[in-house]
Amino acid sequence: MAKIGFMSLGCPKNLVDSEVMIGLLEARGHRLTPTPSDAEVLIVNTCCFIEDSRKESIETILSAAEWKTGGSCKRLIVTGCLAERYAAEIGATLPEVDTILGTNQIEEIVRAVDGASVPPPDSYGRRDAVFYLYDHTTPRTLIGPPYMAYMKIAEGCDHTCAFCIIPKIRGPMRSRSLGSLVREAKQLADRGVRELVLVSQDTTAYGRDLGMRDGLARLLEALDSVDELRWIRFLYAYPNEIGPRLLDVVRSSGKICKYIDMPLQHVSAPVLKAMGRGGDRGSLERMLERIREGIPGVTLRTTMIVGFPGETRAHFLELKRFCLDMEFDRLGVFSYSDEEDTPAHGCFPKVPKRTAEQRRDSLMEQQAAIVRRKHRALIGRDFPVLVEGVSQESELLLQGRLESQAPEIDGVCLINDSDAGEVQGGEFRTIRITKALGHDLLGKIVH
């Protein structure tokens, strides 16, 4: 059997796809190696959501191709979103690539590694294609920390946001069954997972295609009964889908993190309309007030896009004032990426790239001041923390996360404690915050 080198790029949803492919290959008898020079087959699972991710994917493919001449690699396989969208271009310009698999050809990875001829993907932009969706019976190998796992609850998206290519790449919204998700959650918990993070393109739309009402709330209620899980959180909520039942479930549960990740993208009504999202500043303010009233102490995270075609200085200042007034706990800001084959690609006038970057930096500078003020207010308070292990900053420190810190996208807690060496990754402890460090915090274990 072959030694496999795997390179996974992009979002947590893509990571789950990688873990499924690795699980399928290991079930076949293939072995994973962390050393590219030792790999007989190299697999790159790509992303192409925005320009930067496309560049990273192409650079990774080119880097992997070098191992075909300077290592043990005999086959190079490219999968994922870039492969789905640009299969013909990859085939024409990168002869080093032996097989191209799209997002709906995940199970074909076994045949591709075995050397079989697999046709390139042909489902991009089609609504009548055969779309893939894994379930609890599908082999899956976790490649992250053993105490945390993502679980994809649905695939695809039915929204028509003007800037987004995902529906054409991933297809229409399709939810997994509630029973399958509960069974996978129990399987993951039995393997040592203590924090379960639910992901999809739109988690709050879960179950709608199955005829369910309040599907996410019902799923969370079911997962709340999995004893071994300590934290359950969900990412990628859509603003108009957060209803009273969902707020009640999050508020009343001892396991579901009081954390709402809800990409708003903008608040100016003309910009939101051009984006294909709707709403305005007033409706979004009222919605955020309902969330804060419904879940006391909730952590609110959002992302915004600046520089969308037609965004004026007045539109941006409205967005900036909104973020100042709302005081989000977490805020990510992206400069608009002009993606071909999206409705926004044909929208004008374009905002100069430099202007968009200046607006991004201005908004992030404002947010940094908000975070500093919020973090200083935490000093002296005690919080449960999920210990992740030795810090990347120093071997003398541990690193962990509060309930208010989602993995990979938020800051961390650095733990300075003389007895820290006795604490293992995956354990829950209580820490007292002693210092604010920008987006991170410093604390000490309370014995």
HSE (side-chain half, CA atoms, 13 Å) at 227:
1
Q: Are residues 74 and 173 in the same domain?
A: no
Q: What does DSSP say about strands 413-415 and 231-234: parallel, antiparallel, or unpaired?
A: unpaired
pLDDT, residue 223, reads: 98
* Span 60-101, pLDDT tens digits: 999 999 998 888 999 999 999 999 999 999 999 999 999 999
**Which residues lie across from 305 on neighbouring strands?**
334
Q: Please tell me whether residues 229 and 368 are part of one structural domain.
A: yes
Amino acid identity, residue 311?
E
388 in the same domain as 372: no
pTM: 0.96
Higher pLDDT pick, 205 / 391: 205
**CATH number of the domain bearing residue 175:** 3.80.30.20
Residue 140 is assigned to a structural domain of this protein:
no
Structural domain that includes position 434: 382-445
The confidence band for 394, taking pLDDT boundaries of 50, 70 and 90, is confident
Rounded Cα distance, 139 and 19, in Å: 9
Place of tokens 């030694």: 3
Give the list of residues 6+ apart from residue 321 with CB closer than 8 angstroms, or none: none
Pick 392 or 164 by higher pLDDT. Answer: 164
Same domain, 56 and 198: no
On whether both 179 and 94 belong to a single domain, the answer is no
Q: Look at residue 141 and tell me if it is in a domain.
A: no
Sign of CA dihedral 45, 46, 47, 48: negative
Query: Does 133 fall in a domain?
Result: no
What pLDDT does residue 240 have? 83
What's 74's domain CATH number?
3.40.50.12160
Shared domain for 225 and 358, answered yes or no, is yes
- The total number of structural domains in the chain stands at 3
CATH number reported for the structural domain that contains residue 410 in this entry:
2.40.50.140
Give yes or no: residues 363 and 417 share one domain.
no
161 found inside a domain: yes
Instruction: Tell me if 201 is assigned to some domain.
Output: yes
The full 3-state SS of the chain, as one line of letters, equals: CCEEEEEECCCHHHHHHHHHHHHHHHHHCCEECCCHHHCCEEEEEECCCCHHHHHHHHHHHHHHHHHHHHCCCCEEEEEEHHHHHCHHHHHHHCCCCCEECCCCCHHHHHHHHCCCCCCCCCCCCCCCCCCCCCCCCCCCCCCCCCCEEEEECEECCCCCCCCCCHHHHHCCCEECCHHHHHHHHHHHHHCCCCEEEEECCCHHHCCHHHCCCCHHHHHHHHHCCCCCCCEEEECCCCHHHCCHHHHHHHHHCCCECCEEECCCECCCHHHHHHHCCCCCHHHHHHHHHHHHHHCCCCEEEEEEEECCCCCCHHHHHHHHHHHHHHCCCEEEEEECCCCCCCHHHHCCCCCCHHHHHHHHHHHHHHHHHHHHHHHHCCCCCEEEEEEEEECCCCCCCEEEECCCCCCCCCCCEEECCCCHHHCCCCCEEEEEEEEEECCEEEEEECC
Share of the chain above pLDDT 70, in %: 99
123-161 confidence digits (pLDDT tens) = 999 988 999 999 999 999 999 999 999 999 999 999 999
Look up residue 43 and give its two tokens: 């697999």
Are 169 and 282 part of one and the same domain?
yes
Percent of the chain at pLDDT exceeding 90 = 92
Indicate if the pLDDT at residue 111 is higher than 90: yes
In this model, does residue 420 exceed pLDDT 60? Answer: no
Q: Which residues contact 197 (CB under 8 A, 6 or more apart)?
A: 12, 148, 149, 150, 151, 232, 233, 234, 235, 406, 407
**Could you tell me if 167 and 292 lie in one domain?**
yes
Reply yes or no on whether the pLDDT at 239 is more than 90.
Answer: no
Both structure tokens of 67: 């191992």
In this structure, are 356 and 396 located in the same domain? no
Same domain, 105 and 168: no
Distances (CA, A) of 138 to 12, 156, 384: 18, 19, 34
Is the same domain home to 316 and 401? no
Where does a domain end: 63, 94, 113? 113
Q: Strands 41-46, 75-80: parallel, antiparallel or unpaired by DSSP?
A: parallel
Give domain status of residue 319, yes or no: yes
Q: How much is the pLDDT for 218?
A: 98
Pairing of strands 428-437, 440-445: antiparallel
CB 314 within 8 A of CB 389: no
Give 234's strand partners.
198
Domain assignment present for residue 118? The answer is no
So what's the pLDDT on residue 418? 58
Residue 134 lies in a domain: no
Per-residue confidence (pLDDT) for residue 231, from 0 to 100: 98
Q: Which of 316, 344, 376 is the last residue of a domain?
A: 376
Closest CA to 337 of 218, 166, 168: 166
pLDDT for 20 beyond 80: yes
Q: In the numeric block, which tokens belong to residue 159?
A: 């929204």
The answer to whether the beta carbons of residues 142 and 151 sit under 8 Å apart is no
List, in order, residues 6 or more apart from 212 with CB less than 8 Å away.
175, 178, 206, 218
Last residue of a domain, one of 376, 403, 422: 376
10 Å CB burial of residue 246 (0-12, 13-18, 19+) is buried
Position 358 pLDDT exceeds 70 = yes
pLDDT, average across residues 11-27: 97
